Structure 1
Amino acid sequence: MTAEVIESQASDIDSKATLDASNRNDVNTRSPDQQSQIDEICDFLSFNEQIIFKSQQIDDPELLRDEKVNIAREIYRKSAQTFLMRFGSYLNEQHLATFAQIVIANKEKNDEIAVLLMDYRNKLHTRKRDVKNRRYAAMQQLISDGEYFSEQEMMKRAPELYQELIGQYLSDAEKKQRDEYDVKNTTFSGILMHTMEQQQMQDVLKLADKQNVKSRQLERAIELHDISADDTTQSTDEKIEEKECNTMDDEVPVSFRQQWGNFDNEQVACSTSTNSYLEQKNKREKHSKKQITKVNREQNIDNFITAGERDLLRQEFIGIMHEQFLSGGDKDFDYTQVDDNTQLDDLSQINQDKEDAYFEESDYSDEEGSDIRIESKESLDDEESEDDLDVFMNHLNKHHSLQK
């Protein structure tokens, strides 16, 4: 009797161990590629200062990055779903796609994980749209304030680009007007600081100007080299063609040179090719002269452009600076004050985005179910008395978010 009890208990322990092993996301069940992908995700999470990896007291030392990676890796080893619930909101779109591929390959995907993945993806898309709109609103405010996107401030943030597109074409009077400083409404330390900044900026602009000059000289040297190479090639071709023509003259028998009438000993065998050769030679010489004249003219009128061209270059510079701000490229700007600022949200724009997202989702659903689309079309054709509002409301009621 005792032996049977012991055997039964051992069987229960083995069953429980088997169940735990099947429910656990054991590291041994993953391929090396999957393990590498999980490690990459955990490493990405370790750089995020907003994530709480472990409950700590005030006096506890801060976790090292390797410790954070190990904690995240252990959480995933125990449960992929728990890992996703803890860290899913901090993952980017590529990480979410990788995570989905791993759980599907390991046959770990369930309804809860599918819902979580879909929710995080939707939030990520919404987040991107909100950040884009908030940055645009912030940029409009900064443009209205007139300081951050003033010529002086943009020149400080991108001196090389400014000098290339705007600075090199300014006259001395325009540069003086640009660099004017109100010394009456500032302190001596302010004047001193401004003088130092101006000197540093002038050094940067001069260096950028030298680089631009070298770049233009290099381009012209390459262009002149190409012209010279073309002329050399053409000259070689001309010599070969002339030699071939003379050879043909020597090889033409006298009997073939004698023509009807009084054209005896007239060399006409290569007359056509000779004329063609002379015409091509003249064309090449004219083309070469035009190219050299063009390059010389460009050298003589350096930095001379029309007012319209100057305005286009200025607009291009401003557009590049605006695009750099919207894309998050301004290194000295604190984007956290903008990206998480709900006061910058445009309610009308938000509602419009929600409507667009809704109809995009509806269109996507319609593309997946062609049979349903055909049935809906037939139903609408039968109900001719139904107006547009009824159609919209019926479609809205069928939305998955309203289904229980």
Structure 2
Amino acid sequence: MGREFVKSPEISGDGIDMICERLSRMPDLYLPHALATRADPVSQIERKDHLANLLRRDAAVFLERYGKSLNSVELQEFEALQEDYEVNWHLKALKSAMNPSAEEQRSRAATVQNRRLAFMNRLVQDGQYFSEDSMRMRSPLMHYEHVGQFQDPAVRDPGVRPGERFSDTLIRRSEEAYIQERLREERVAAGIPVEEPAEDRNRIDEESEFEEEYDTESEDEEQMAQAEQPTRENPTDSRASHPGEAQGHASEDGRPGETSGEEPPHTSEGMSGEETTSGSQYLSHAELADKMEDFTRLMQEKFLSGMDSEHVDYGHIDNNAALDDDWMPEITRDAEEKYFEED
């Protein structure tokens, strides 16, 4: 008797055609270097032929490259090949990702959090992402509520700073204008009455760089005109137009109670009182440091919870196994300590 020939299991032709037909129409389909760099565009038929040839030749490599793009019905076609160790390993991993158990979900969530924490620690060490300027740019309202309203407005002075290039000044002013617009939008969205923050009330008008110089020149001209006025006008008229001066001359005539020493309260004292009152809302450096620490902690919690998707790619972070190297030694050490404690 001759040896009985046992046909190796394989995916049906209809199954291969169904899988490759759908995948070949995907716009972002991965293609090997020879096809991807070809001068002529790759047709849909050529893409389908490439997929079918790879699937028949090496199903494990096919699952490794395109398994995440398959649906549950298409994965069922690979059940015929589950005796192949590599194919079976990919099938289990793909099915687990598609329909994870409660334990797998908990394990996956822990892994994701550890990877985000590892990535965040790298950002902290870099010093840029969690700097005050960067965090304020991302969350203007949160910064204002926790830190900005307690800061001296001079910190955000848009004026030219010593040694700063003019281009850097323009960039800084543009960024400040963007932040203020975002702040207003976030206040409106949160239902908070929109009112000019202290830092806006005191900052220089960015639309005219010469307005301050013009005002200064006008004040100088007015002071010069007042200094020259007594020499041009009649002294009697001058005294009549300035009651304070008339009282001073009356005291020279010996009238009691009208001496030149009795001056009205100086206006600078009133200004000083106002400045002290308005300045009382600003905190000291030590108090601001505490506020800044709280704000940074909230921003880091926001990052870990996945609310920074506008600025970072969480998909890349959560699936980056290389980040496990940052926290795996700590997990191993904790497991060892727990083992010896139980022992």
Greater RCO (CA < 8 Å, at least 6 residues apart): 2
TM, length-normalised to structure 1: 0.40
More helix by share: 1
